[in-house]
Structure 1
Amino acid sequence: MKKNDSGKEKNVTKQQKKIQDAFKYKREVEIIPAKVSDLSIQKKRVAAYCRVSTYAEAQSGSFELQIQSYKEKILLNPEWEFVGIYADRGASGTTIKKREHFNRMLNDCRLNKIDLIIVKSISRFSRNVLDFISITRELKALPNPVGVFIEDLNINTLDTTSETSLLMLSIVAQAESEQKSEAITWSIIERFKKGLPIIPTHNFLGFTKDRFGKVVIEESEAEIVRFIYKNFLEGVRAVDIASLLNEANIPTASGNQWKSSSIYRVLRNEKYFGLVIMQKTYTVDCFSHKKKINRGEKPKYLLRNGLPAIVSEDEWNLVQELLLNPRKGFKKKAVKNIEKPRIFVSTIKSGVFKGFIVIDAKWSKEDVAEVLSKGEHQQ
């Protein structure tokens, strides 16, 4: 028994006694040094990861500069072996799902092809805290641990003291993404409030944009929209309308075969009589990028006569009645006597060849001449 400062007795446990004896009666302990790994003698296999979030011309220079700088940096280091540059362009840093080269790089790490990854900053690697921590921990736990060197911080994730600092900095990167997402959402909503909709037309049947960016009717496609509405109102089933269009070799706006579902999408789209409903969907968060149908969770904004009408409002309303109650008032019409559209002229709506006509190889010389003459008159 041993007395403490207050005069009370205190029990000494067996573990305490052992430790006290180990320091009091020193023992001879032979230390066997750790084996030096062959990997430390070999050159370190190094890769670099680069990313920009858009295809904008302003970012293309930054993207190429990253690629060339890292390639030169790795090749000039005599202790490094160049594995490659993994680069994603037009990819968000808030998720890894759509980053093809990033995922290929991680897989090469798992296959023991990489020892070190160089990246410009945490935000280039990931703006999602959970992704950043889980990935760096996975790489650290591999049989051959892989480090991520954050260049602007001069930190390697394999350093034992780095994780706390990197966690705090990745939280900052995530917060920046959240603020940027909120700012973009705010600007879009303000546009909606002022009656300025965002209407992409590259996959929108019946519409295109002129050289000033104004949405205008693409007449050859508008004829297909009118064909769909006219025949549906006359009692032709959606599946039969789809078959007629496929037989006439007329593709959907995205270049696919027509189905009943694609016919119904045209029939339900209020934009065809000029009504634009904004914020029909909304993004849940900036990390999952998941979109949900707006069922009243967010405000909607209606702009009447926001587009030139292809069909009348009365036609559209009548179609909606039939869609709700298809047996009401109309007999199903046989399709054998329906005249199919003879020539469909597809025009490229975006990119370098915007405005060019796509010539169908099945057209006769007369058909081509007819199409070209129509194009000249339209100019």
Structure 2
Amino acid sequence: MNRMKPFKDLVVVKFGGASLASPNLIGKAARSVVDVVKSGRRVVVVVSAMGKTTDELLGTTQAISSGTISPSHLDEILSMGERTSARIFSASLESLGLKAAFLDPSDPDWPIVTDNAHGMAEPIVEVCEKKVPEALGPLLEEGVTPVLPGFVGRSSDGEVTTLGRGGSDLTAFLVAGALGSETVVLVTSVGGIMTADPKLVRSAKKHGQLSAEELASLADSGVKFIHKASLRYLKEGTRVKITSYLDEDLESEGTWVQGSLPALVVEGRPEPVTALVLAGRGMQSVRKALNCLVEFSSSGEIKLIGSIVNSNSIVAYVENGIDGEVLERLHGSFIEEESALGVVVRSDLGCVVVKGAELSERLGILGKVSQPLASDGINIHGVLTLGTNFTVFVNRDSVERAVELIREALRKEV
């Protein structure tokens, strides 16, 4: 069967729960979709549950079941928030004169097929990429606007599943990728990605554009403008705009996000690594050490990979060795500080980089990495972590073996 042509003119719009929290907001959201269709573009709508519906369903279920409900039964209940939302939003579009159709997991051609992990189901991407165009393509060709409940899937044996945190974003990204859409709009409670939480920092400003990796590093703060795990379903070439339901329409300015994050990658870096320990007493020595590292990194005399800091000292990891003359000057600069104790160098290290969209949301992942290395007699010199990636430093002659062991330990997730 020939693959359907990509819908380059297609916009996939996901409305979050806050944007559907009242009849007035639902009407406003529906009118914004009608405006896009009237401009000559096609739209697929993905909806979250209205307002706090999912929290209310979960709270009520937990209260009456005392925790005895099965995961499959719970998924059936929680899915009703999005499934109801899709029906209401479709009706709202039709009331405005737009041809619309909602899809439901009970439909024979439901396109979001997952594994059986209730509550945290993973889509079977290759199946979804076949079924999404088959289910939605004919509707789009006929001028119908499809409305899908986000967060909801169906296992290969026909059970309703839910996709966990960020599930509606995931649905939108998966649908966009399968249909060849170049644009996804996430309508949320924020008008874009800010440089800080505006509730805490009055001078916070909005970013105009970010890469997926940059977004993921900001998301480590716990701000729920997007869930990192969903970013691995975002295809290269698809741009995402994060905007607010308070804006006038879907054309309003927001923050654009480009690029994607891998599910999980484990790789050894070929460069030798040197560890510099700048030891001292108290924060004065730490400040001096930081100044030295910034100065020598900025001049290109050392290439900093990362550092570990406590209240007395810094361990800095740098690529390759350190020239003797450079080390002499760095040492001299550091010990000018009265509280500095000295500089220690270790130059026989290498590193393994583990990166992926959902590392920070996988429980016990550092333990899964460290345990097999310890069992194999490989000592970990240090670990740098930042949400979507971490770097493990080991003896350089152990890097290849460490990569093998970590890949094996995480084989279900790589």
TM-score, normalization by structure 2: 0.25
**Higher Rg of the two aligned structures:** 1
Higher relative contact order (CA 8 A, sep 6+): 2
TM-score under structure 1 length normalisation: 0.27
> Which structure carries more strand by proportion?
2
